[in-house]
Amino acid sequence: MKVLKNYINGSWVESREQSTVDVVNPANQEVLAKVPYGEGTAADVELAVESAVKALDEWRNVPVMRRVQPLYQLKQLLEKHVDELGRLITLECGKSLPESKAEIQRGIENVETACATPMLMQSEFSENVAPGIDEFMIRQPVGVCACVAPFNFPGMIPFWFLPYALACGNSFILKPSEKVPLTMMKVFELIDQLDLPKGLVSLVHGGKDSVDAILDHPQVKAISFVGSTPVARYIYQRGTANGKRVQAQGGAKNPVLVMPDADMEMTAKIIADSVYGCAGQRCLAASNIITIGDKKGTITEALLEAAKSKTTGFGLDEGIEMGPVITPESKRRIESLIAKGVSEGANLLLDGRNTTVSGYEKGNFIKPTILENVALEGEIIKTEIFGPVMSLIHMDAIDEAIDFVNSNNFGNMACLFTTSGLNARTFRNRANAGNIGINIGVAAPMAQFPFSGWNDSFFGDLHGQGRHAIEFFTQTKVVIERWPQEWTRKF
């Protein structure tokens, strides 16, 4: 079984760490590869940073119009290899093939947006702020930047950061999740074909040891992270304590409100796609579904039917809509949380536990689950399950539901389904979340907009994607120049 190499200084090199962990297909427990994991990976980070510092001296002075040229080529390479990348995502992450290929497409959109960096990072200029004095602001690279990526979107999330960092003149180090490193291994094979300085982009494997080495290294100036809230808080606190810029996306418990005037059948299908897409393992998955004034149970019945219709299995098989969760440990955790919800008084409207898929008996499968009347003061209502579980709550009025939304410690996404413009306007104005959806099940911003997050869902000031990414990966310099016809000491 092959042990994965790091990509450092333009070459594939073996890790300094001899210990490994398995990369496992969650549908059948097949070992796909082995990845370095242990204290020695900190030495790998040191090598990557050393080469990144050297490459930075050359790259930061390359004109921005030239810096984006390799990104155009990267876009073409990614498009050419969408099928292969999608298959790798399905094998190591578990999601269905259509989901995996759609993920790569969203990554490509970020590469496209980063190609607009020559315009996005243009400076501001004011002439004659005083006689003979001009003042302007320019943007310059931050330096060596790093990303610690999660398991659930191995082909998309690194592209929230990597193309922008490069276009802005920085060098970049990526540490993919040890659970799903194969997708980025393939992406770096494509990056290796680009005309970039050696050492400008590196890939380093590992776990907490390599992350801490990144957080503590004095030459690393900016860190991007996506993952759970406890780890996001740790990354932010340790990184900022070391004087680094940090953007750390945390977890979520996303609420979706359904008004009685919504199109019930279509709304139910869209919500089911949101709750159960990617087996619920995404930070924008709908979780707490709040029906408003559903006294006849119309939307409840529609949600139940939509959930039952989902086909669960191996993501490369025909017609599969939902794959397994990432590990056996995740499956056990999710199933224990379902049991916890029942113990807190919830009605188990649909039970997806103890699922076995023929031909994949060792897979980490959980079918769609619905917990109805979840206790508002219980643990489940505020815990990120990160699995295919819907918590169904019934309320009488939109104001009551918005108050409940705003009591959430998280603030990643909140959505409303309605045909009322007034209700939609009220909701988008009052709901405390960074991404708001109106008649949308997954309010995922396009690449031109920042991936916002509030409260415990985000630590930092500038988010990934779009103009926020340009601002995060550049530092501003204000220049005041005097070129007078007659010299004076006045300003």
What are the catalytic residues? 283
What's the token pair of residue 58?
């050359």
Other CB atoms within 10 A of residue 2 CB: 9
Burial 192-220 (b: 16+ CB within 10 A, else e): eebebbebbbbbbbbbebbbbbbbebeeb
The continuous run of DSSP H or E covering 171 comes out as strand 171-175
Q: Which long-range contacts (CB under 8 A, 24 or more apart) does 393-396 make?
A: 393/288, 393/289, 393/290, 393/291, 394/290, 394/291, 394/294, 394/300, 395/290, 395/291, 395/292, 396/292, 396/293
Q: Are residues 313 and 320 in contact, defined by beta-carbon separation less than 8 angstroms?
A: yes
What's the token pair of residue 489?
């000491």
Q: How far is CA 412 from the centre of its chain?
A: 11
Strands 220-226 and 144-148: parallel
For residue 115, what are the β-bridge partners? none
- Round the CA-based radius of gyration of the chain to a whole number and report it: 24
Q: Are residues 276 and 450 in contact, defined by beta-carbon separation less than 8 angstroms?
A: no
As a whole number of Å, the end-to-end CA separation of the chain is 70
**Which is it for the CA torsion 414, 286, 404, 465, positive or negative?**
negative
* Distance, CA of 117 to CA of 165 (rounded, Å): 10
Q: How far is CA 415 from the centre of its chain?
A: 19
Burial 114-124 (b: 16+ CB within 10 A, else e): bbbbeebbeee
Q: Which of 277, 265, 336 is nearest to 312 (CA)?
A: 277
The continuous run of DSSP H or E covering 88 comes out as helix 82-93
Q: Which of 442, 477, 445, 487 is nearest to 464 (CA)?
A: 445
Q: Are residues 219 and 254 in contact, defined by beta-carbon separation less than 8 angstroms?
A: no
Sole residue written with tokens 């309605």 = 418
Say which DSSP state 277 is in.
Answer: G
For residue 223, what are the β-bridge partners? 146, 246
Q: Amino acid letter at 468?
A: H
Instruction: Tell me whether residue 378 is exposed, middle or buried, using C-beta atoms within 10 angstroms of its C-beta: 0 to 12, 13 to 18, 19 or more.
Output: middle
Q: Provide the 3-class DSSP secondary structure of residue 218.
A: coil
